[in-house]
Amino acid sequence: MTGKIKTYWQNFIGGEWVDGATGERIAVENPATGERIAEVARAVPADVDRAVAAARRVFESRVLWEMRPSERGQIMFEVARQLTAMTEEIALLECLDNGKTLANGRNEVALTARYLTYYGGMADKLEGRQIPLGKDYLDYTVHAPFGVSAQIVPFNGPLPVGARSICCAFVTGNTVVLKSPEDSPLSLFKFAEACERAGVPKGAINIICGYGDDAGAALAAHRDVDHIVFTGSVETGKSVLRAAAERVVPCVMELGGKSAAVVHADADLDRTAKAIARGIFFHSGQICSAASRLLVHRSIHDDLVARLVVEAEGRKLAPGVEGHDMPPLISAKQLDRVEALCKVGQSEGARVATGGSRLPGSSGHFMRPTILTGVRPDMRVAREEFFGPVLVVIPFDTPEEAVAIANGTDYGLAAGVFTRDLTLAHWTADRLVAGQIYVNEWWAGGVETPFGGTKRSGYGREKGQEALLGYVQTKNVGIRL
């Protein structure tokens, strides 16, 4: 299977494919087998300088800003067409460097194309306004681009997460330098190919791959970067914010979560079990908005846990090219961390209903789907993000107690409510502190619905019309007639 893909990938800077300044390479491995499948040119600070300079030249040329917005949108439509034509190749890459199934890889290409067409269609609909100041004045506002947008995206969904940031920046007239994740960079290089084929102005979109503490840090701190988009851990996010604060650079930050699913006593248990299982076990829990905390009314606790155990134990762990329900974790380091946290939970008094350890005898980074019961809200496993397929279960007795537990962490990205009572659903949703609330279905919503965090989960919004406002600044023009 590895013979079907390129074994060496260069960075995309200024519309050209180039090696890194030092000639070093980053090895990319298949998390399902542990084998090396490719190498990418390692970008270092000198390459960041080159990419930012290319983006700066295009921005200052005003070539994007002087296009009709609909023209920028049409370019994104063409990128979507080019990308869609590569669906099978990209799906395979997502299997091999990210552990996804072929079906999930295909879905990610379709989702990426949807972002491109959605924001391409919004390009000519972001309008200013005229402000009445009396007969002697004309006053109006313009949504102006920031300039060079630096974007750092995570390993778990590099293609759709990267594309939605790129296209929001591009259709509003910004240029982009994006650092792909070193663990799973390949699909974003295919995105760069699509940009090349679609006729994106050279240097408007640059994609590089380097390590976070090197290329990523240099990009966040670069003097010619005007705007930063970051998705990742809280600790890395704080480093990015410190660099941004030195130059007063605006940011869009999505920093993970410990999202709670509140299940009231009247919930449909079969439907709820399937929704929660998908919410925590899809992509092995390597999703920032995963349903990682289950808050369940004590009267239905045992019934729901039993259904979830069946859901967990029915999932197959195998390489994505073979078809499976549970992909591997991205790295041996992440597998070790998730397994160690499960042991911490047990030392604190949690009980393992199923799972709790890695898949024995596998050379890949597979973690068995895990359910921990007997969890108290003050335990580490109830407060720390695993970023793995581990569900912690906490019982409650009243709606007020459930809300207090749900809001009792430093995170506030997503939350869910499961109940047949619409009034109770509204009551709970109104009190949950999170950027997005799902009712009776985890991940209810789509490209059109705004997504982002509160508290330590970050700020700013991706997806939906609101996302575009994070890529522009309002300029007011007042004219004395």
Domains along the chain with CATH numbers: 2-255+459-480 (3.40.605.10), 260-446 (3.40.309.10)
With CA atoms as reference, report the closest residue to 365 among 390, 333, 341: 333
- List alpha helices for 297-358, DSSP H: 301-313, 332-347
Helix (H) or strand (E) holding 209: strand 205-209
Q: Residue 288 catalytic?
A: yes
What is the tens place of the pLDDT at every residue in 406-447? Answer: 999 999 999 999 999 999 999 999 999 999 999 999 999 999
Q: What is the pLDDT of residue 354?
A: 98
| Cα–Cα distances in angstroms (integers) from residue 447 to residues 44, 333, 415, 435, in the given order | 33, 32, 18, 15
Residue 323 clears pLDDT 90, i.e. is over it:
no
Q: Which value, in Å, is the radius of gyration of the alpha carbons in the chain?
A: 23
Residue 2 clears pLDDT 70, i.e. is over it:
no
Report the number of secondary-structure helices (H) and strands (E) in the chain.
Answer: 14, 23
DSSP, res 327: P
What is the tens place of the pLDDT at every residue in 4-37? Answer: 789 999 999 999 999 999 999 999 999 999 999 9
Residue 394 clears pLDDT 80, i.e. is over it:
yes
Spatial distance between the Cα atoms of 420 and 394, rounded to a whole number of angstroms: 21
Average pLDDT over residues 334-358: 97
Query: Average pLDDT over the chain, rounded to whole?
Result: 96
Average pLDDT over residues 448-473: 96
Q: What is the pLDDT of residue 30?
A: 95
Q: Count how many Cα atoms sit within 13 Å of the Cα of residue 184 in the half-sphere of its side chain.
A: 30
Average pLDDT over residues 195-218: 97
Residue 101 clears pLDDT 80, i.e. is over it:
yes
Average pLDDT over residues 186-195: 98
Helix (H) or strand (E) holding 72: helix 69-85
Question: Two tokens at 30?
Answer: 């298949």
CB 209 within 8 A of CB 182: yes
Map residue 270 onto helix, strand or coil.
helix
Composition of the chain by helix, strand, coil, percent to 5: 40, 25, 35
For residue 326, what pLDDT band results from cuts at 50, 70 and 90?
A: confident
- In the set 89, 94, 193, 254, the catalytic residue is 254
Weakest mean pLDDT among 96-105, 141-150, 403-412: 96-105
Residue 353 clears pLDDT 60, i.e. is over it:
yes
Q: What is the pLDDT of residue 319?
A: 85
Percent of the chain with pLDDT over 90: 96
Question: Two tokens at 45?
Answer: 């600070």
Spatial distance between the Cα atoms of 467 and 414, rounded to a whole number of angstroms: 17
What is the tens place of the pLDDT at every residue in 46-84? Answer: 999 999 999 999 999 999 999 999 999 999 999 999 999
Spatial distance between the Cα atoms of 306 and 297, rounded to a whole number of angstroms: 14
What is the tens place of the pLDDT at every residue in 245-301? Answer: 999 999 999 999 999 999 999 999 999 999 999 999 999 999 999 999 999 999 999
Q: What are phi and psi of 323, to 5 degrees?
A: 85, 125
Q: What is the pLDDT of residue 1?
A: 41
Percent of the chain with pLDDT over 70: 99
pTM as predicted: 0.95
Average pLDDT over residues 190-216: 97
For residue 3, what pLDDT band results from cuts at 50, 70 and 90?
A: very low
| β-sheet with 137-145: strand ranges across | 130-131, 137-145, 472-480
Q: What is the pLDDT of residue 5?
A: 85
- In the set 288, 311, 339, 462, the catalytic residue is 288
Q: Residue 254 catalytic?
A: yes
Q: What is the pLDDT of residue 320?
A: 78
Q: What are phi and psi of 251, to 5 degrees?
A: -135, 155
